[in-house]
């Protein structure tokens, strides 16, 4: 899990996501499944926790506290959906 404080946290993860172009599947608002580089899917949860925007991914890197490309890919869809809901 990581707390999203600034877009700069995501810079490397965004670049990797652009390179690998993972598939993001929508489960429901805030829950997404993102394809891994070796097959399979990881679950990404985007939510507010005590006023902080948090992102949780089930991949090994995220379990170590790293910002992974799965999270970056899911966040792009999540932010787009949140903007649609706000409009």
Confidence band of 14 (pLDDT split at 50, 70, 90): very high
Beta sheet of 2-3, edge-to-edge order: 2-3, 52-57, 41-49, 31-35, 24-28
pLDDT single digits (tens) 49-73: 888 888 999 999 999 888 999 999 9
Q: Is 3 a residue whose pLDDT tops 90?
A: no
The CB density around residue 19, as the number of other CB atoms within 10 Å, is 10
Calpha distance 24→35 (Å, rounded): 7
Q: Print the domain residue range for 64.
A: 2-86
Q: What is the per-residue pLDDT for 52?
A: 87
Mean pLDDT of the residues in the chain: 92
| Cα–Cα nearest to 15, from 75, 73, 79, 63 | 73
* Beta-bridge partner residues of 86: none
Number of domains in the chain: 1
Q: What is the mean pLDDT of residues 20-24?
A: 97
Q: What is the mean pLDDT of residues 10-23?
A: 94
Distance of alpha carbon 48 from alpha carbon 84, whole angstroms: 18
């Amino acid at each position: 899990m990581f707390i999203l404080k600034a877009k700069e946290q995501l810079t490397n993860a965004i670049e990797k996501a652009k390179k690998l172009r993972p598939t993001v599947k929508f489960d429901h608002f805030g829950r997404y499944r993102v394809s891994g580089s070796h097959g399979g899917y990881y679950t990404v949860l985007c939510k507010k926790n005590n006023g902080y925007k948090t992102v949780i991914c089930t991949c090994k890197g995220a379990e170590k506290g790293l910002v992974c490309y799965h999270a970056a890919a899911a966040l792009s869809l999540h932010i787009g959906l949140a903007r649609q809901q706000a409009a």
